[in-house]
């Protein structure tokens, strides 16, 4: 990497600016350099990109080069692996060369970062003929796990054991965020890896997607805030397993889980109520009936809820009232509700909405909905604050498959929510507009959009109607 930077043409600065900058103290210059770093979230800025800081800084002059090399923080955040500039037709030979350069660069960044906490992103999502080199890169990064602060990684299941090993061997005293996506078939020769949370006492966010992983929550409580294991723990995501999460993670604000086993897995004497006083975002994907779980949840701080059900048993529900009972019990300040395949009647959906008066965004798919639900969403402008008026702040409505509406019911619902002339001053803000998203087969869009009043709403920007693929 050093010889690459040396061979590049140096960047020329105007003489006056150059003289001013040269008088800056090295400490101040180092702080300025930190603001030249690209956003770590944008993975196109990888260590392969020689036009980005910190490598670029070393091409300006020898003083800048010396300051940048002696500034460990400049080298403590980096991205390894594939990036947006890499064409999909990259040859195996080119990939091999790129991986070897990655290994050299990784060692350089690690060396120059000293003992500063590391923020690293790694992207090796495909099979490589140079798998041994990729393994060496991963082991180099893992060797510095005691310095990990934020780690985002996307790799294959064959490397799962390497990247998760620090959670078994520990400790990880600096780690705040660990986000892994593991591709490939984890059942092919890959054992289940253990993630011991007690090895990372400061961990705030843990996301594990894919792979064969089991989370060990330990004996006491931990301070984790964001937990996403919705597609990694497979059948262990039973209702019994979920109670373990609730017991050990009382500070959770964001939770993404799956329910893969039936209610027979529930503890013999479950608690009457499971309270999550801090949880604001919950996403549940269920292949078994999650009703027993929702019958016990108390979520007073809930802001966003996504519930997706794809029951694989031969079970038929006339109705699914469990969400309604949870909302009635919790009375949260719910703003976003997304339901996929939840077998509720229109009356039950309407009752759920009555417990969510602050709702802003509603999405329903895979559930039968007809004009009745639109009638529930139609406001009575003569009595604008009557209890029958549901979700006064609702401005985003999405209906997927399973719904079918008449054009007249859709028009009536939309126009009932149209702001008055005095309220049009705020129409420029997105929160004051109305967005309708729907499968194009759900209602006759032509009949709706040609209505003169609807056309006016579209023209003045208050209303937008979008089709779903």
Q: What is the pLDDT of residue 6?
A: 43
Q: What is the pLDDT of residue 373?
A: 95
Helix, strand, coil percentages, rounded to 5, for the chain: 35, 20, 45
Q: What is the pLDDT of residue 41?
A: 53
Annotate 74-137 with DSSP letters as a single string.
Answer: GGSEEEEE--TTS-TT--HHHHHHHHHHHHHHHHHHHHHTTTS-EEEEEEE-S--TTHHHHHHH
Q: What is the pLDDT of residue 315?
A: 63
Contact between 106 and 47 under an 8 Å Cβ cutoff? The reply is: yes
Q: What is the pLDDT of residue 432?
A: 73
Mind listing the pLDDT tens digit for each residue in 165-191?
Answer: 999 988 999 999 999 999 876 555 457
Mind listing the pLDDT tens digit for each residue in 33-69?
Answer: 777 776 655 544 567 666 666 777 767 787 888 887 8
Residues in the chain where the model's pLDDT stays below 70:
1-22, 38-46, 48-53, 58, 83-90, 129, 185-190, 230-240, 261-271, 312-315, 383-387, 421-431, 440, 468-469
Q: What is the pLDDT of residue 349?
A: 97
Contact between 288 and 262 under an 8 Å Cβ cutoff? The reply is: yes
* Biggest CA pair distance of the chain: 79
| pTM to 2 decimal places | 0.83
């Amino acid at each position: 990497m050093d010889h690459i930077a040396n061979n590049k043409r140096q960047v020329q600065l105007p003489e006056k600016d150059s003289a001013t900058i040269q008088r800056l103290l090295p400490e101040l210059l180092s702080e300025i350099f930190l603001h030249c770093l690209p956003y770590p979230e944008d993975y196109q800025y990888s260590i392969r990109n020689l036009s980005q800081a910190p490598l670029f800084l070393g091409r300006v002059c020898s003083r800048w080069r010396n300051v940048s090399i002696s500034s460990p923080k400049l080298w403590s955040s980096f991205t390894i692996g594939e990036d947006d500039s890499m064409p999909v037709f990259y040859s195996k030979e080119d990939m091999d060369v790129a991986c070897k350069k990655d290994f050299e660069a990784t060692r350089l960044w690690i060396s120059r970062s000293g003992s500063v906490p590391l923020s690293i992103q790694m992207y090796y999502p495909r099979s490589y003929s140079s798998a041994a080199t990729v393994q060496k890169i991963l082991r180099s990064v893992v060797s510095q796990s005691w310095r990990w602060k934020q780690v985002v990684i996307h790799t294959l299941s064959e490397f799962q054991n390497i990247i998760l090993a620090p959670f078994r061997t520990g400790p990880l005293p600096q780690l705040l965020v660990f986000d892994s996506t593991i591709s490939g078939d984890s059942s092919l020769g890959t054992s289940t890896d253990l993630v011991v949370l007690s090895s990372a006492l400061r961990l705030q966010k843990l996301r594990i997607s894919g792979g064969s992983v089991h989370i060990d929550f330990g004996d006491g409580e931990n301070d984790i805030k964001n937990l996403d294991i919705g597609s990694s723990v497979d059948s262990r995501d039973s209702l019994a397993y979920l109670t373990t999460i609730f017991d050990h993670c009382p500070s959770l604000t964001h939770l993404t889980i799956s329910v893969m086993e039936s209610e027979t897995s529930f503890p013999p004497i479950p608690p009457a109520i499971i309270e999550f006083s801090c949880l604001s975002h919950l996403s549940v994907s269920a292949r078994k009936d999650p009703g027993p779980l929702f019958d016990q949840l108390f979520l007073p701080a809930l802001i966003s809820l996504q519930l997706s059900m794809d029951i694989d048993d031969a079970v038929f529900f006339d109705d699914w009232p469990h969400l309604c009972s949870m909302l009635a019990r919790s009375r949260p300040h719910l703003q976003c509700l997304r339901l996929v395949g939840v077998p509720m009647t229109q009356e039950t959906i309407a009752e759920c909405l009555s417990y969510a008066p602050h709702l802003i965004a509603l999405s329903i798919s895979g559930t039968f909905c007809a004009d009745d639900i639109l009638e529930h969403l139609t406001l009575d402008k003569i009595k604008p604050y009557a209890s029958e008026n549901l979700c006064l702040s609702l401005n985003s409505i999405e209906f997927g498959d399973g719904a079918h509406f008449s054009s007249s019911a859709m028009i009536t619902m939309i126009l009932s929510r149209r702001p008055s002339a005095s309220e049009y001053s705020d129409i420029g803000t997105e929160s004051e507009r109305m967005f309708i998203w729907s499968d194009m087969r759900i209602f006759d869009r032509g009949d709706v959009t040609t209505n003169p009043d609807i056309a006016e709403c579209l023209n003045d920007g208050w209303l937008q109607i979008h089709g779903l693929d």
